[in-house]
Amino acid sequence: HAADAHRTDLMTITRFVLNEQSKYPESRGDFTILLSHIVLGCKFVCSAVNKAGLAKLIGLAGETNIQGEEQKKLDVLSNDVFVNALISSGRTSVLVSEEDEEATFVEPSHRGKYCVVFDPLDGSSNIDCGVSIGTIFGIYTLDHTDEPTTEDVLKPGNEMVAAGYCMYGSSCMLVLSTGTGVHGFTLDPSLGEFILTHPDIKIPKKGNIYSVNEGNAQNWDGPTTKYVEKCKFPKDGSPAKSLRYVGSMVADVHRTLLYGGIFLYPADKKSPNGKLRVLYEVFPMSFLMEQAGGQAFTGQKRALDLVPEKIHERSPIFLGSYDDVEEIKALYAEDE
Ligand code: AHG
Ligand code: MN
Ligand code: MN
Ligand code: MN
């Protein structure tokens, strides 16, 4: 069909979100405005990532963040871009970033009804070698008109109203859920617009890939060790699983979402709470997984039911295809 081939009726991300919002008569377009500022941040970071080697954006910034990690130049740049984009949207009150020790409270003149938690650049270790990296975000609504506090973001993931990530990969893709499924948009660089290319993504019920940093195996607990052993040496006649591990959560979760399988960042003896941060890594990705028909588990409970006590809190995480996560849940249940 000629119209298909030329794609003359483009579903941009803005059009898509406006359509969704028109179902709510009380909606005043605040979310659309917030999202368009997030999209601007993603486009800026995408462009910076693409020319990193040319624009001297490779290497360390010289500071260490609250996580004890050396910040890369692109971590700092991306953080500044998103903080500015979110404040200038006029739709936020509290911001939590991986790169900032304290939450940012937006000045009254710029305040709005949303709180945004984000990892401005995920996969820092892959920046300098040109491997896929990303941005992760989660959005809460502010449910009162008093002075905002960190309590406004120390809420379980199941209270998020939207979550998403942007992957700076072989193409730039933004994957978003506002609680009505998961939808993927690809940046058309010639238009500077994200176009709906992956409507209503559903994760395969069962996968054949596992994704974990096996270098930590000597410090794993019993259930994780057993699970990975089963992936490699299945006893039930099923074929062994393939191992894929990029080391950028965005890339590993994106592949898991599209191809199926499981992503694990378990606890280990050195990091009893795992590595990944609850608010801006575990929650948004768990929200997307559930919306796509998969599951997300901490080793103890449904990940979205965690109630964080600190903004940079960490948690072990197992997420992906429904059946694969069922298996790891069974191993933890046996272990009790
Ligand atoms: P960040 O670059 O935002 O600090 O996140 C890094 C995270 C995540 O992207 C990835 O899943 C994980 O670190 C990889 O950790 P290991 O190097 O320990 O495998
Ligand atoms: Mn980091
Ligand atoms: Mn990260
Ligand atoms: Mn990061």
ipTM confidence score:
0.98
Q: How many CA atoms lie within 13 A of 49 on its CB side?
A: 30
Task: Please name the residue whose Cα sits nearest to atom 8 of ligand 1.
Answer: 249
Ligand 1 centroid to residue 265 C-alpha, Å: 9
Query: Where does residue 51 fall: left (phi above 0), alpha (psi -120 to 50 degrees), or beta otherwise?
Result: alpha
**How much is the pLDDT for 26?**
82
Residue 20 CB-density burial (10 A; 0-12 exposed, 13-18 middle, 19+ buried)? middle
Question: Does the Cβ of 152 fall within 6 Å of ligand 1?
Answer: no
Q: Which residue has the tokens 């859920």?
A: 177
**How much is the pLDDT for 28?**
87
In sequence order, what are the residues at sequence separation of 6 or more whose Cβ sits closer than 8 angstroms to the Cβ of residue 227? 264, 327, 328, 331
Ligand 3 centroid to residue 331 C-alpha, Å: 27
Ligand nearest to the CA of 246: 1
Ligand 2 centroid to residue 247 C-alpha, Å: 12
Question: Does the Cβ of 124 fall within 6 Å of ligand 1?
Answer: yes
Per-residue pLDDT of the chain in tens (336 residues, 90 and over written 9): 555 666 789 999 999 999 988 888 788 899 999 999 999 999 999 999 999 888 888 999 999 999 999 999 999 999 999 999 999 999 999 999 999 999 999 999 999 999 999 999 999 999 999 999 999 999 999 999 999 999 999 999 999 999 999 999 999 999 999 999 999 999 999 999 999 999 999 999 999 999 999 999 999 999 999 999 999 999 999 999 999 999 999 999 999 999 999 999 999 999 999 999 999 999 999 999 999 999 999 999 999 999 999 999 999 999 999 999 999 999 999 988
Question: Does the Cβ of 75 fall within 6 Å of ligand 1?
Answer: no
Ligand 3 centroid to residue 178 C-alpha, Å: 21
**How much is the pLDDT for 1?**
58
Question: Does the Cβ of 13 fall within 6 Å of ligand 1?
Answer: no
Residues 56-104 have pLDDT tens digits of 889 999 999 999 999 999 999 999 999 999 999 999 999 999 999 999 9
Question: Does the Cβ of 193 fall within 6 Å of ligand 1?
Answer: no
Question: Does the Cβ of 271 fall within 6 Å of ligand 1?
Answer: no
Residues 28-42 have pLDDT tens digits of 899 999 999 999 999
**How much is the pLDDT for 27?**
83
Between CA 269 and CA 190 the distance in angstroms is 48
